[in-house]
């Protein structure tokens, strides 16, 4: 992230009502805490009144107002395209909020930026079908996720009149590892332990298979194959999780 972009982002975060810690700013800006300290010092030298709250973090002095935000053409196009997509989602009130937000973005554009944005939007458009495809259920799903509610679903199976009823927990049941998202969820037609574990395997590539296998075995993880050598040069150990699913540790050193 460029220095000016980072400092603008810091300013945006300092506008919040609650103080922001330097460590949190460093995480958002993807830089070191020391860099955040230097940026805050630079903002103060430039005349931005930043207040340090001992034990809490930083915030702008009450009463200080930032000048209007200046969007680049690329930033404005991305926001307006996002609003075009959002028009096809949610309720009437949410569509009205989307139109209002888009109007505010357009109002903040400089004349020369507006011309460039209009030119780009003529070439990049959202399908009108998507803009008119509304769903009344999105607000309900959003509230269920936010408040960790359980939804009761009743629906007909595909191709028959059989009615299925189930309850779904809408909490945060996905996690991210190295840019890959794993979603853990139920299925209306599958229950109990996995009846065909080899069908889907999750592979974990490790630098030291022996050490990682020993660590898992010390935690009572069962291995059904240990350090099997493959023709392509890899070494694989296969383990079983508590639900009977298979996972594999793979070590492969090119050489």
79-84, long-range: CB < 8 A, 24+ apart? 79/105, 80/105, 80/106, 80/117, 80/121, 81/121, 81/124, 81/126, 84/125, 84/126, 84/131
Query: DSSP label at 66?
Result: P
CATH fold of 199-251 reads 2,3-Dihydroxybiphenyl 1,2-Dioxygenase; domain 1 (3.10.180)
| Residue 110 pLDDT | 81
Is residue 228 within 8 A of residue 210, CB to CB? The reply is no
In Å, the largest CA–CA distance within the chain is: 71
Sheet strands (E) in the chain: 50-53, 57-60, 150-156, 163-169, 174-177, 180-183, 202-205, 222-229, 235-240, 246-251
CA distances from 219 to 36, 212, 237, 250, 252 (A): 41, 11, 16, 19, 24
Phi, psi of 191 (to 5 degrees): -150, 165
Q: Do domains 3-60 and 199-251 have the same CATH topology?
A: no
The CA-based angle 90-92-95, given to 5 degrees, is 65
Query: What are 154's strand-pairing partners?
Result: 165
| Residue 226 pLDDT | 94
| Residue 34 pLDDT | 94
| Residue 76 pLDDT | 87
CATH fold of 3-60 reads Arc Repressor Mutant, subunit A (1.10.10)
CA distances from 168 to 7, 21, 117, 135, 155 (A): 43, 37, 42, 19, 13
* Interstrand relation of 202-205 and 246-251 (parallel, antiparallel or unpaired): parallel
Which stretches of the chain drop beneath a pLDDT of 70? 66-69, 88-91, 127-136, 138, 157-160, 169-191, 254-255
| Residue 227 pLDDT | 92
Per DSSP, helices labelled H in 87-165 are 92-107, 111-123, 128-132, 138-146
pTM, two decimals, is: 0.42
pLDDT tens sequence across 132-175: 555 667 677 777 777 777 778 787 766 667 787 777 766 565 55
169's CB contacts (< 8 A; 6+ apart) are 148, 150
| Residue 23 pLDDT | 93
- The ranges assigned to domains in the chain are 3-60, 73-132, 148-176, 199-251
Question: What is the token pair recorded at 233?
Answer: 């040069």
What is the spatial distance between Cα 73 and Cα 70, in angstroms, rounded to a whole number?
Answer: 10
Upper half-sphere CA count for residue 50 (Cβ side, 13 Å): 27
Phi, psi of 208 (to 5 degrees): -130, 90
Query: Which residue from 136, 64, 57 is spatially nearest to 94, judged by alpha carbons?
Result: 136
């Amino acid at each position: 992230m460029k220095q000016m972009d980072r400092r603008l982002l810091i300013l945006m975060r300092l506008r919040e009502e609650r103080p922001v810690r330097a460590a949190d700013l460093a995480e958002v800006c993807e830089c070191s805490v020391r860099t955040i300290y230097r940026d805050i010092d630079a903002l103060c030298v430039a005349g931005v009144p930043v207040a340090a709250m001992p034990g809490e973090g930083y915030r702008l002095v009450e009463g200080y107002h930032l000048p209007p935000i200046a969007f680049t053409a690329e930033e404005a196009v991305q926001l307006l395209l996002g609003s075009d997509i959002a028009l096809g989602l949610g309720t009437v009130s949410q569509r009205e909020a989307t139109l209002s937000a888009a109007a505010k973005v357009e109002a903040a554009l400089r004349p020369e930026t507006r011309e460039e944005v209009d030119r780009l939007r003529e070439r990049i458009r959202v399908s009108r079908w998507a803009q008119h495809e509304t769903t009344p259920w999105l607000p309900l799903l959003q509230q269920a996720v936010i408040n960790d509610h359980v939804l009761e679903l009743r629906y007909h199976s595909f191709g028959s009149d059989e009615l299925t009823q189930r309850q779904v927990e809408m909490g945060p049941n996905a996690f991210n590892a190295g840019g890959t998202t794993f979603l853990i969820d139920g299925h209306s037609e599958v229950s109990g332990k996995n009846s065909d574990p080899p069908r889907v395997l999750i592979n974990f590539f490790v630098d030291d298979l022996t050490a990682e296998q020993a660590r898992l075995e010390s935690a009572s993880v069962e291995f059904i194959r240990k350090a099997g050598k493959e023709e392509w040069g890899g070494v694989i150990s296969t383990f079983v999780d508590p639900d009977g699913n298979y996972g594999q540790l793979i070590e492969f050193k090119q050489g």
